Structure formats: structure tokens, C-alpha cells
Structure 1
């Protein structure tokens, strides 16, 4: 009994130290993990995944580390699950959980309207700490098309005492993998036609929430030969995966004869391929709804084009396939293209040919350069993709296999240009009215497209009030006109409004404070900005400047800025120009500091005096 009490005392002290962290600078430790995972690939392309983990939870925060979420659908099943919660000091079992005890819910995706995904969730609670939780479960997949990624440290504030990951597979299937930052080397063994590859790590660094994502440990897996619901393929390179995708969709692009005649009629007066693309793309946008459908192999095989036409809706695959079929009808070749989509999403691992995609777009290879179409959008102009799929490596699918290429990054000046011309008239009370004409192209034009199509009139006016070039502006009337030059979106915004107390007056002087709108980090989302502004300010009287009018001419490594101002009779004329070019590796912190630096460049005050009257002039 004495030995047990001494052991318990030392254990409690140890756990208290872990909960606080081992030093003042290291993150606190909420749990300790020992884990073993075994992924077994079978000759019939099915996969078994066995996970065994022991978690020593030190605090309530560590309960999040115990949570297990298991997805299942037509292709995946949960073979078994068991968990036990134990008091480590007394070794007394507190709670046992089986598969039937898990909470079962539908998995509602923001993008998938129809799917068969469900979740089993293990989420225990306890007021006893420390607590030991032992978990074991086995998953089964009917396909090896997608294999799990191993992240040895799955949670922040978790100490990984030891983690083992093994893959067992028949040599004829083949296996590819990519090690990212792993502090260990693989171990290999062979037995009766099966190859086993294992990775073992121990005593890894505890990660806090400030841990950099690019420094994390990961192991990426992919098969060489694979099968999905009886459709077998090989992806030793990207061409192999593209060839499999092409065969999966082959002969699913047939259209009804009546619709073919309608297509020909729609483009009968178009004199260029781009105009034909534009006409058919706009027809698709106006007449078909995006409804995501992910059921079994349907997650990869497109719907039949004739069905999409008849139903008037489809997912990204179905709408892209329909657009491809329409273009083929007028003699324009296009290519079904796989992409990993998402705003700020990471690019794929180009050196690991594998299933890394979640979306489909269309590439039209014209002689002047490829035109890209986002067929799920009802507002984007033809030829523009936007943030959702910009600057990504994509897999172009062709009859001969296909190839890897990149979508546009839209990070040059022509895609990030804003210009405005403004006329302001000031009354005797210092209030002002303004008339503005703003021209936007590229990414800024698409922003105005979203404003026009996705916001009502009140919301549009609120947006303009918040994002105008002048602080304190209250917009009255406005109009947004959209157009494009080839693939380049353009927008013209005209508005008028009022600015209360634009000028502050005292008995002797009138003060016009800095009113130029500040740039934001959002405007640098594409790492490039070219912005010009012109202001013609009609003064109520012929004021004279008390001090020299501000002038700016600044050239730095990543930006250049200029400001010119002058008085022309009773008009104050101000013009600014700002050009920003940032490298791809520019960090968020550097961007924040640069924005502050640029905004301070245009921060000034203008002081004016009334023109002297004859009664105050000195005697001659």
C-alpha cells in the first residue's frame, strides 16, 4: 500500500508538471498520446485501417483530444469500435463504450446537397482528472483510391510519447508516399508477398497554436494501382490518373438533337470563338442551378449531359460536362479539369500523383491562351476563376491522358487596377457633396459583381459607405455597370453622396483634414495593386493655403506612392498614384506592417485661410 501511495504521489506531481508545461516558454500539455495505426491494402483494392490509442488526459481541455469522429458511407464502413475510460491512480474502469453507443448524425456539407455521408461520434465527458482513455477501432473502405494521411501530432498541446504508423500491401498494387518533416526513417519488411513499411516517432515537440503549419509532420500516401467500384486504374504518374478519369466519363456528353439546334442558333451571329464561349457560358449560368451530388462513384463520375439538360441542375462535374458538350457542338475543344478548390487552400503536392482534388472546372485551349470557366458560378464572367481556384496546379483530362498545369494567379497590375475621378463641392458650413466615377478591372471588378448580384439595394449602399475612398461619405444614388474585355472583367461605379463637416472651420481658418481612403489587407489578396485617384474640390471662396500643400514622391522596395496637390483659383486639385507589388512569400505580418506604412504616407492635414478682405488690407 505504501509503494502504491508513493507512486500515486509521484504520478500526480508529474501530471501537474505536464499540465503546466515543462518550462515557462513551452505550451501547456493537456494530454499524452501513445498510438499505433495499421493500414492494410488488399488485393481486391479494399483497405482496412486499425487504430489503437492510449490517451492520458490531464485537464478538461484535453477532452477535445479524445473526441473521435468516424465517417461512413456507401464506400466506407466502421467495422468495430471500443473505448474505455480508466482512473490511472486506481486502475478502476469508469466507462466503457461500444460502437452501438456512439452518436450517429448526418454529415451536412456546405457544398454537397445530396450525399450519403454519416458520422459516428465519440465524445466522452468526465470530472475526474487525470483520466486514461483507451480507444480501438477498425475502418473498412471498398476502395484504395484515397488513403489516409498520417499526422503524428494530431492536436495542439498534446505530448506524443510514441506513435507508430504501418502500411501493409501486396507488392503488385504498389505504394507511393511523401514524408514531410518526419524526424524518422521508414522501416521495411517482407513476408509472403506482402510488404510492410513503418514509421515510428517518439517524444515529439509539443505544439502550441502558434506552431507553423508548414513545419508540421505529415505522411502522405497514394496507391499505384487502384480500383473504384470495379473501375481499375493506375497512377504512377499524373497521366495515368487523367486517363482513368477520362474513361470514367467517356460517352456521357451526348445532347438531345433539339438542344443541339438551339445551341447552333444561339451562336449563329458570333464571329469569334471567345464570343461563342461567352454566349454559351452565360446561357449555362442563367438556366442551370448548381446542386452538389456526391454518392459513391458519383463523387468522381459526371452525370450524363442529357440528364443535366433535362433536370436543369447539376454538380460541378455535371455542369462542366454539359458546358464541354455545348462547346463541342460548335466545334470548340475543351478539357475537363480537376482542381483542389477553396479560398486560401494549399496547392497540391505535385510530386505525388494521387487523388488530391475536390472540384472540377473547364479549360478551353484557344490559340491566344487557355480560357478557364467556373461552371458552378452564376455571376463570374467567362474566362475568370477568382480566389476559389486561382494559382493552383490542376490536372487537365484529355483522351490521350492529360497533363498538370496551373490556373492563372491574377497577380499582375492589369488584374488589380482601381481608378477614380471625384468632384467635390463644399458649402459655407463645411459640408460637401460629391460625384464619383470609379473604374475597376480584374479582381476589383469581380468584387463589384458580387456586390451587384448578391446584395440588395440597402446592402449595396452600406457597402459603398464602408468602402468608399472618403471617410464619412453617405451615398445617395449609385449605379454599377459590368462588362469585360476578353477574359478581363471590368466594372464602372458611379455614385453621388454627402459628406458632413468635410471641412472644419474656426474664426480665422478652415481645416481640411486628410480624407483619402486607406488601403486594406484585403485589397492585397492578389499581391498586386495599382490605384489612382483624382479630386477636384470646389471651394466656397478663393482660399489661400496657409502652408505648403502636401506633395509625396516615395519609392520603396515593394511600393511606390505619389501625391500632388495645387490650388487653381477656387479649386483644389489632388491626385494620387499607388503601385504595390509583393512577392509570393510575403507573410501576413509583413503585409500588415506594409499597409500601415503606406497609409501613413498619405496621412496629412491641409490648412487654409480666407482671402483677405479690403478692410483688413494694410494702408498703401
Structure 2
């Protein structure tokens, strides 16, 4: 049946041959696919150091509901990137035209959805969604850019459950202008040719079946076929630069920042008075950072060259707002005024952002932070937050490469790394149980490092009632009432949140006749298990490191005797370690559990070992003690 089904779908797709310039003649393209890119042509033409055009044509067969997003086209544009034209046509399963886009069908909307954004970024949007499958869409558009800081990346298999029959990428460079490129996971390398006016680079790929992700696999950008391109020499709004090395790229950014660090004299004097008599550099930095947080707010401002060039420090001082570039430049200027040197730094911000390709200098960053070299180590300042601790990078900018911007050029360095010991959740709970299996619990938990971030955020962004609702959603106890709660935030380079809970527990134990079954792990049971997918293709990647320590002390009701206690458990692997122990003394049950998980990359062959470890943790977390009621 499956073979016939795929054959039928293939036959339907072949009906589109009169409209398409390529056809899915490989049955494997249908397996697991919601859509087939029959043809994609991308042509990037560099006209000069300051201007280029990109033309894209796609022909896509949409097989089912899961592929309907391919019937929608989004083309971003701004003051430096213009949309020259946009066309689109759809065809039904018999090749009959359904619709051609009219100008009125193409929407032009703002890319901004937040109150704290001032952007010229917009999106042209077209929708050729049809309700009867399969059907085909053709899109063609061209953009012209005067921002040659960015050359395109070609990712022909950019969506999951999508296959590609044929895709081509062509780059035309004027004679004497150098193209830099980086190929990844391609079956065929570039083919070069030349015309009288241009050097031409051609890439082609065909018969790409969908790539299935694997649990704990690498970022998809690591395994997809891809070509990244970048300029050597470039120009943006009169600012010429070179990107062949990180050093030269950093010089261009430094040039953008020149002369923008001048503070009003009154502000300089105010800052110098603020730190008068303070010798400790860290204390001085804290004073300036508190001043920044108390007197400014973050507004994303992306207007023309402003996407890369900060507003002057005097602007931020007067207006009280700025984007990451402006606020970082302002903080750097204030620290300089009190005798603390610092360095403007580009970074890729975000908890799941891709790593910087260190061997391919290019514009890979989306955020700016401040680096403050100290005698013992380096302090990193996030200048856009009104509540972050000075020197804490956390999951947003920690443990990744940043590009330091100096007059001498750019230099790649690593930001603060947070270990499993840094990211701690330490909990102590006391539980008093009654004869019905209900109980009352007092719980105190300390969260540090990355593990404090969720609680820090709810403290600053939620009302007490919203915090209560959040706790009900996130406390992992089957049935309870939250009697009271309190949070306390302690700032520092390793910030922490203390949480106190008073809980009324319902059916905390299971009653069966004269027996009482107690699962001692009250709040931190391993709840999900990865699938053992058989032979694995990709590396095993763990992106978080943390330590959880739980101590739970139960006071059992009178009249019960221990009948069964599980043995102490201990596991140690490359991925992490686990140990749990239970002690029973009279009516007191003391349960101690420690789980430590490491981050890292591991060979595909060790994945079953990780699954086995997690299974063992899951089983150990579910172990029970059995108590039997004494016979009167």
C-alpha cells in the first residue's frame, strides 16, 4: 500500500511537468515530505562594493497540510534593501492555473511587533494557500541591496519534511572583486567560470530527501547542505571596509564608533563625584552600572547604518534610551570617565543561537555587550537590562565567542562559561504526613547561575498573582495547594534566587489496605525519556550543564513500620552522574538526591549509553518505600 501511495503521489507531481522546469523523478523525495522544491534558482550579482542584487525563483509542490507554509512568501526589506519585483502563481493538481498574484494581494507590513522597537524593517508578504492537495506554487522576486556587509547564505534544504529535486546558486562577481565562501555538507563543490565582465561561481544540488533531526542532535545548520558567502572589500553608506580577517572587520566597526563616546561635562563630573573615594574597580563599575540601569531603557533602533553604528553617548545621556550598541557605547564612555577602560564587543545573543564560525570572518553577530578587563579575570556587562546583575552573562551571552572591537582591529575571545557547579538548584523540603496520605510541606530552594534566570524573570515581569499562577504550572507535584510563597533575589556575578513555599499536599502517598507507598522524590523526578533511535548519524550534543541537589525529610504518621526500602543508587557517565539515598530512623525518612549533567559533544555511538543512563535516573526517581500499618 505504501509503495502504491508514493507512486500515485509521484505521478500527480509529474503532471506538473508542463509548468515546472524540474521534476521529482526520485521516489525517495516523497517519503516523509510535506512539500517538494521542484526547482529553486538563486542568482546573486555583485555590481560594486556598495551594491548587489539577488533574484530568486522557486517552484514548489505542496503535498499536504503540513507543507502549506511553502505557499506563503516573506521578503524582508528596509532602506538599504529594496524589493524590485515579486510575482507568484499557483496551479492545481491538473496543472490548471488557480491564481496569479496581483499588487493588491501583496501585503507590506512592519517587521516590528514590540513597543520598544524603532525600525525601518518591513516585510512583503504573499499567500497562495490552496485547500485541495497537491498543488503547486511558483514565486519569483528580486531585491537590490546597498548594504554589502551581508552576502547571502544558500540553504536549499531549509525546512524539515521538505525535499529538493533541484536547486542552483550562482554568484557573479565583477572582475577584480574577491568572493569568499564556505561550503558545508555538499556532494559537489563549486564550479567556476568567467565572462568578459564577471567571475561566476555555480553550485547545484539535486535529489535531496528530507533530513530527519535526531534527539540531542547538532544544530540543523551544522548538518544541512549550505554555502555561506561574504565579501572581502565592501562599503555601506560611504564606510568602506574589509572582512578577510576578524582584525580588519573589527577595524571597520571601530571606524563606525569613532567620536561617539563624548559625554557632557556635567555628566562626567556627576559620575566622578559618585565614585569619589572608592578605590575598588569593581565597586566603581557597580556604581556606574546602577546609574545606567536607573537612568536608561532599551529601545531597538535599526535605521539605515544605525543597525551597526551606535548613537552618540550624548544622545543617550539626554534622551535616556538607546539600543544595545548605543547603551554599550554609553556605558563604555561613563566607565572611561571614572578611569575604567573597557572594550565594545559583538556577540551572538540568545539561549539557542548558533556558534560563530571562527574560520570564516563575516558579520555573524546580533548583539553588543561590554568587556571590562580586570586584574584577575574579565567582567562582561549586559547594558540593555534594567535588572541584570553586573558581570552575569548567563544563557544569553555566556559561553560563546565575542569579537572585541579595538582601534587595532577585532579579536575573537570567549565569554564567561558556566559550569554544572555554577548552575545549581539546591532544595530542602520537610514534609509532615498524616494517616490519610495527605501532608504539609515547607520547601526552600536556592537557584544560582543559569538556573536562577526563570525566577529572576518572573520577579521582574510578573505581578504576585501571575507569580502564583506560574508556580502552579511549574511545581511538579500531582496535587497540591499553594499556601504561601516568597522570592528573594541576590545580585552578583553569580546571582541567585531563594524561593520559599508552603504547600498542602493531597495524596502524597498511595494507600492500599494497610500499606502506605511513598515515592520520596517529591518535586524533581526525571519525566521525559529520549528514544533509542538505533544507529545514529549525528553527534550527541548536550547544551546545558547543571546540578540539582534535593533533600526531602518526611515525618511519617505514627503506627507504621518500614517494610521495604530501595537500595542506594549511583551512576556515573560522561554525560552526568546521579546518586540517591534513603535513610529511615524511626518515623523520619531522609531522601537525598544529586543529579549533575554536563554539556558537551559526544560520538554518535555513545547515544545508547546516554539513553540507558537517563532510563536509570527515571527508574530511580520513581522508586518507592513501603510502610505497613502496625497490627493492634
Residue 4 of structure 1 aligns with which residue?
none
Deviations 1:367-413 (A, max 9, x none): 22111111112222111122222322221111211201122342x13
Cα displacement (A) at 1:600 = 1.6
Q: CA deviation at 1:176?
A: 0.5
Equivalents in 1 of 2:352, 2:328: separation in Å?
23
Q: Does 1:572 align with 2:589?
A: yes
The offset of 1:281, in angstroms, is 1.8
- In structure 2, the partner of 1:73 is 78
Per mean C-alpha deviation after superposition, the further-off stretch among 590-599 and 475-484 is: 590-599
Deviating more after overlay: 309-318 vs 48-57? 48-57
Corresponding residue number in structure 2 for 1:6: none
Shift of 1:175: 1.3
Correspondence 1:318 to 2:326? yes
2:203 corresponding residue in structure 1: 199
**Residues in 2 aligned to 1:77 and 1:520: alpha-carbon distance in whole angstroms:** 51
Q: What's the offset of the Cα at 1:50?
A: 2.5
Equivalent residue for 2:428, pick from 401, 421, 426 = 421
TM-score (norm 2): 0.84
The answer as to 2:347 corresponding to 1:339 is yes
* 1:239–1:401 contact (8 Å) kept in structure 2: yes
Aligned to 1:7: none
What CA deviation, in whole Å up to 9, does each residue of 1:229-256 have, x standing for no partner?
0011111101111111011011111112
Are the structure 2 counterparts of residues 260 and 64 from structure 1 closer, same or farther at C-alpha, using a change threshold of 3 Å?
A: same
For 2:553 and 2:139, the matched residues in 1 are separated by 71
Further displaced range: 12-21 or 118-127: 12-21
8 Å contact kept, 1:45–1:226: yes
Indicate conservation of the 8 Å contact 1:414/1:441, yes or no.
no
The equivalent of 1:606 in structure 2 is 625
Report the counterpart of residue 402 of structure 2 in structure 1.
394
For the 8 Å contact 2:542–2:599, the answer to whether it is kept is no
Cα distance in structure 2, aligned partners of 1:468 and 1:57: 42
Residues 1:498 and 2:515 aligned together: no
Does the CA contact (< 8 Å) of 2:49 and 2:233 recur in 1?
no
Task: Give the whole-Å Cα distance in 1 for the aligned partners of 2:504 and 2:295.
Answer: 41
- When Rg is computed on C-alpha atoms for both structures, the one with the higher figure is 1
The residue aligned with 1:266 is: 274
Task: Describe the SS at the equivalent of 1:350.
Answer: coil
Q: Distance in 1 between matches of 2:68 and 2:630?
A: 74
Aligned length: 600
Cα drift, residue 224 of structure 1 = 0.5
Matched, 1:403 2:408: no
Equivalent position of 1:42 in the other structure: 47
- Residues 354-363 or 378-387, more deviating: 378-387
2:518 is equivalent to residue 518 of structure 1: no
* Counterpart in the other structure of 1:118: 122
Contact kept, 8 Å, 2:32 with 2:210, in 1: the verdict is: yes
Matches within 5 A, 1:138-537: 138-155=142-159, 160-192=164-196, 194-201=198-205, 203-207=206-210, 210=213, 213-268=221-276, 270-410=278-418, 412-427=419-434, 429-468=436-475, 471-484=478-491, 487-503=493-509, 508-519=514-525, 527-537=544-554
Counterparts of 1:538 and 1:94, CA distance in 2: 72
Cα shift at 1:501: 3.8
**Structure 1 residues 62, 546: CA separation in 2 closer, same or farther (over 3 Å shift)?**
closer
Structure 1: 5+ residue runs without aligned partners? 1-9
Deviation at 1:557, TM superposition (A): 4.5
**2:562 alignment partner, one of 545, 567, 592:** 545
1:74-107 CA distance string (max 9 Å, x none): 11112234445568978x7665446676322222
1:592–1:43 CA distance, 2 compared to 1 (3 A): same
Tell me: CA distance 1:298–1:378, structure 2 relative to 1, closer, same or farther (3 Å). Answer: same
Give the drift of 1:295: 0.6
Moved more, 43-52 or 130-139: 130-139
